[in-house]
Chain A
Amino acid sequence: NAGVTQTPKFQVLKTGQSMTLQCAQDMNHNSMYWYRQDPGMGLRLIYYSASEGTTDKGEVPNGYNVSRLNKREFSLRLESAAPSQTSVYFCASSEGTTDTQYFGPGTRLTVL
């Protein structure tokens, strides 16, 4: 039981490049989330998916797209990376009773 996994762990991009961050969970959770964490700040919600087949914008969606590939997988895509997207990205999934979120290990992304 791996919980929530994310790939890659680290990534360096040049401005304008694209990439996809992968996330998978094996806890059979319906809801999945993508957050970013910037220095000195808490987590901010980028996109979420309440169930397979649905996605919606969070607090800071600009410059990102997501795909809920199936119940297990939720990917985040940067189409044209910008230095302002330098951050640590966390994927999370949650269970229904309390909606407690369980996080992946994070992806540290640097955009030059």
Chain B
Amino acid sequence: AQKITQTQPGMFVQEKEAVTLDCTYDTSDQSYGLFWYKQPSSGEMIFLIYQGSYDEQNATEGRYSLNFQKARKSANLVISASQLGDSAMYFCAMREGALNTGGFKTIFGAGTRLFVKA
């Protein structure tokens, strides 16, 4: 069963507008973490924002915020005031159970490609 679902393969947004990228997850763990990463066309993976499962407030980092709805198991990324440089692939990821020899398992969604129009 897919643990991280990103249902929007591609999204368009007008420059300076806000956009929401959807992410739903599935886990039976009580303690987990949710991440968003950006992958521009140059290929590197850039960490954007983190939300812990016990965090009561939604995480924010500059123009990025994470709309965390625990009961619905969703962790949508909101980008405010889109810029041309926001055009990229965006991946939602979830850290859940511990791995055999320590550390944690992080699972990535298939990604959403965002196009920002001038």
Instruction: Please report A residues at the B interface, Cβ cutoff 8 Å.
Output: 30-31, 33, 40-45, 48-51, 54-56, 88, 90, 92, 94, 98-106, 108
Q: Does B64 contact A (CB under 8 A)?
A: no
- 11 A-B interface contacts by CB (under 8 A): A40-B110, A41-B110, A42-B108, A56-B99, A98-B50, A100-B33, A100-B35, A101-B47, A103-B45, A103-B46, A104-B44
> Chain B's interface: helix, strand, loop or mixed, by majority?
strand
Contact B103 A103 (CB under 8 A): no
Cα A42 to Cα B89 with chains together (Å): 10
Contact A45 B105 (CB under 8 A): yes
Contact B44 A103 (CB under 8 A): yes
Q: What is the interface size of chain B, counting residues whose CB is below 8 A from a CB of the partner?
A: 27
Question: With A98-B52, A106-B44 in contact, do A54 and B33 touch (Cβ < 8 Å)?
Answer: no
Residue in B45, B52, B102, B105 whose CB lies within 8 Å of A54: B102
Number of A-B contacts (CB under 8 A): 70
Cα A54 to Cα B103 with chains together (Å): 11
Q: Does B85 contact A (CB under 8 A)?
A: no
Question: With A42-B4, A50-B102 in contact, do A102 and B91 touch (Cβ < 8 Å)?
Answer: no
Contact A50 B43 (CB under 8 A): no
Nearest opposing residue in chain B for A108, CB measure: B43
Contact A54 B101 (CB under 8 A): yes
